Structure 1
Amino acid sequence: MNVTVFGLSLVELLVLASAVVLVLARWLPPGARRPSTLAGAAALVVSATVLAVLGIRWQLLPILAGGVIALAFAAPSLLGWRAGRRARWWLALPGSVACLALVLAGATAAWALPLPVFPEPSGAYAVGTTVVQWTDPDRAEVATSRTDDKRTIVVQLWYPAQDAPPAAQRARYLGRTAREAQLVARGEADYLGLPAFVLDEPTRARTRSVPDAPVAGGGDRFPVVLFSPGLGGVRTQNTAWAEELASRGYVVAAVDHPYDSAVVTLADGRAVRTKVAATGDQAEDDRRAAGWTAVRAADLSFVLTQFGRLDRGEIPGLLSGRLDTRRAAATGHSLGGAAALQAARQDPRFAAVIDLDGFPRDPATRPFHQPVLALTHDVEPGEEPDYIPRLTQVLQLSTATGYRLTVPGTAHLTFTDAPLFMPPLPALIGSVGRTAGPRITAAATVAFLDATLRGSPGDLAATLSRYGRLTVL
């Protein structure tokens, strides 16, 4: 169901319009009451029937309830009863106000929590996606007490693909199956302390990529971009960004970090919940964050190693012979951005780093050689006073040029998919709108990756300056 206006599809808009007509028909001139009620009733019945087949979202229930109640009170007019039998206006007014309030509440909920519609990637390639699970035999799983438990991660890849038929089924957003999507949504809601219904719509969403689509022809070898999500985040949290990069000729690999990501569904069916929890002690929480960051950084390096094996055909996969691991970037959001910085410092195989609003957590920060792009939200005076100084200090340790770009009107979640489906509150997703955040994130990072991994000519600083306040380090 394609969302068109204010988070509502055309059929849902018809339900809304018919419910409003039924509520207001009582207050129209006498000659217009009966035809308006008949038209509203017919439209409500038809549109509700269509929704019953397609699936009714919970946001539509108050709208339907308001319309049905108004229709019940309008029955005398439809049955041709005398006007004198109608309720007095002062008795009808509270009922009309209550019905209208129900309708508006449903419309507001649909606007605030819409079905996410992912932007069409603008690059030359169609986009495919696949999910793999890899176990590192050289690392023990530190989150469990079993000595034989090795570190296992789940990785989702987005890659340049051959054009798919228009009818090809697109990938689900939060998981490979409806069950996985629901598990992830419930786990994410629990982690964030939100009611489960807030993430109902993302479980139904489809993205722009095709599962396991054939890789694009031509034999080109694609640069690789590894991504670590935020603390408690999941591998799909930056899908719009990943799909845009893949359409531009990059392979993006986003990592689910078990016991850290909100929920990770393993191949054996287990759903691993996060073990991350704050203690309230700032020093202890900083120590724990440094430990999680170190594990994530090692995960990123392991994925890069696996990419090399995949490219050489040592492990099976769609992308054998198509990966250019000499042009690899470590990227991440929030704690994942801190992990990307630490991975680059520890692993010289990474050629570039992108930190999406992440506070550095590396306790052993030393000089590193990669260029860095750090996107930060619009930090208010007095907010997080250590963030920008610490980030600047770390960026200055790079022996290559670093770029710190502060994007006006943004919040911490602006750089994720959250603006596509979360309530449009400036403190939550910024004030730049639902689509501007993902668009700016993709545009700035593509410009940086093209310059650092592909050597594209042009003035990178001038390009980045279009999107915010730039500091070149």
Structure 2
Amino acid sequence: MRQFLAVVAGPAVLTALTTLAVLAVLTVSACSTPTPPRTGAPSVTPTGPAALPAPNGPHPVGTTALYLKDTSRPDPWNLDADARELKVTLWYPTGRRDGPRAPYMTPEESELLLKGKGIAGAPYDTLSRTRTNAVKDAAPAGRRLPLVVLSPGFTEPVSTLTSLAEDLAGRGYVVAGIDHTYESHATTLPGGRVAGCLACDSDTDPGFGTGVVRGRAADVSFVLDRLISGWGGHGLIDRTRIAMAGQSIGGAAALAAMVEDSRVRAGIDMDGTTYARIPRSGLSRPFMFMGSPQHVPGGRDASWDRDWKRLTGWKRWLVLSGSEHGSFTDSPLLEDALGIRNPPGVLPAARSAELVRSYVAAFLDRHLKSRRQPLLDGPSPRFPEAGFCPGACGRS
């Protein structure tokens, strides 16, 4: 696994390998079959704050945070909480081009995330200084906009999908990124409370992944209830055009949410082992698997082979050569700032972001905006890294 990996040299190599082993356990139990730990990769001098690439599309991007409380159910991780609290970050088109850019995360969130991942080569507030593109608390613009829900990987805040979220908002989507409380190293709640990863204490329990995606599906349904009925004024969101995408166990949650909630018309799983069982009658709504080479048919993760057979509607299965588990997040874009070297053979940060943005947007444009997308019809000379499975999509 390569999401925010600690890469050190010399006497610290043993410590790094221990950290990688821990991350691999998390990946097996809750995210996806892991990429074998990399050994001996040297660190480099951190370059200073990272900057996310500008969004595509014609619209300036705004962002704001909502704090929601579901009093109909207790929190699955915090036994002292009789309601489920969620932080939802929204990205959307706005008419405002100037204004303060939203922080990527707070300094405390940055510190807790880097400590949780065992990264000590850069100042702990490094991620909080990442430059984003969205104007903080700008007023939304438009009517009846399609909605995309994003769900991050286990232990990750939804801010690690900011580049994708900003890009989709620039293309005319409302994006709702859910921080699933107590499932990441840091989630800031009202009053400055910071929720840590209580779920990390249970990640090796039998049935953990199944329980996580079930809980995340409930989170999604609750958020949809609140967004459709309340946020942003009447008519901002088109309740008939809703999709979901996620990375790692967030991708597995996208499939689970579609099984449980028919309002989610289309879904994308980015490199996540799936846990929800598709009914025997199948799932007829559009779905796309997009992953690293470990997800080739017959590969190390058999869950996609199983579920592919029960996807009875429009479907695609893409494998990106040179990608790793973290390639579907902001992780590669942040490596220079963290002093982590991109090894040979792995997609460069800008290229992985371009691939993910392009194929996710093409899928959503086709299924939420009814726009023909030749990019999804087969291999493209523009993106030779994208192999279409289960045919000749490569094996590594």
- Fold-level similarity (TM above 0.5): yes
Are the counterparts in 2 of residues 158 and 243 from structure 1 also a CA contact under 8 Å? yes
Are the counterparts in 2 of residues 189 and 198 from structure 1 also a CA contact under 8 Å? no
Structure 2: tracts of 5 or more residues without a match: 1-42, 392-396
Alignment of structure 1 residues 395-434 onto 2, 5 Å: 395-422=308-335, 423-426=340-343, 431-434=346-349
SS at match of 2:58: coil
Call closer, same or farther: CA 1:215–1:304 in 2, change over 3 Å: same
Name the structure 1 match of 2:259: 345
Give the counterpart letter for 2:356 in structure 1. Answer: T
Name the structure 1 match of 2:35: none
**2:229 is the counterpart of 1:309:** yes
SS at match of 1:236: helix
SS at match of 1:158: strand
**2:50 is the counterpart of 1:135:** no
Q: CA deviation at 1:275?
A: 1.2
SS at match of 1:442: helix
Provide the C-alpha distance between the structure 1 equivalents of 2:262 and 2:46, rounded to a whole number of angstroms: 47
Name the structure 1 match of 2:15: none
Q: Which has more radius of gyration?
A: 1
**2:367 is the counterpart of 1:452:** yes
TM-score by length of 1: 0.67
Name the structure 2 match of 1:86: none
Name the structure 2 match of 1:275: 198
Higher relative contact order (CA 8 A, sep 6+): 2
Name the structure 2 match of 1:203: 128
Work out the number of aligned pairs and report it: 341
Name the structure 1 match of 2:158: 235
SS at match of 2:191: coil
Give the counterpart letter for 1:276 in structure 2. Answer: A
Alignment of structure 1 residues 157-176 onto 2, 5 Å: 157-165=90-98, 168-174=99-105
Q: What is the CA RMSD across the aligned residues, in angstroms?
A: 2.5
Give the counterpart letter for 1:193 in structure 2. Answer: G
Higher helix share: 1
Are the counterparts in 1 of residues 378 and 388 from structure 2 also a CA contact under 8 Å? no
Alignment of structure 1 residues 52-451 onto 2, 5 Å: 108-111=44-47, 114-146=48-80, 149-165=82-98, 168-174=99-105, 181-195=106-120, 197=122, 199-216=124-141, 219-277=142-200, 284=205, 286-310=206-230, 317-363=231-277, 366=280, 367-379=282-294, 385-387=299-301, 389-422=302-335, 423-426=340-343, 431-451=346-366
Give the counterpart letter for 1:288 in structure 2. Answer: F
Give the counterpart letter for 2:370 in structure 1. Answer: G
Are the counterparts in 1 of residues 379 and 386 from structure 2 also a CA contact under 8 Å? yes
Q: CA deviation at 1:420?
A: 1.1
Structure 1: tracts of 5 or more residues without a match: 1-106, 175-180, 311-316
Provide the C-alpha distance between the structure 2 equivalents of 1:444 and 1:404, rounded to a whole number of angstroms: 11
| Post-superposition CA distance 1:305-341 (Å, at most 9, x none) | 112112xxxxxx4354210121101111101001111
Identity across the alignment (%): 30
| Post-superposition CA distance 1:153-178 (Å, at most 9, x none) | 0000000011323xx2111111xxxx
Alignment of structure 1 residues 13-24 onto 2, 5 Å: none
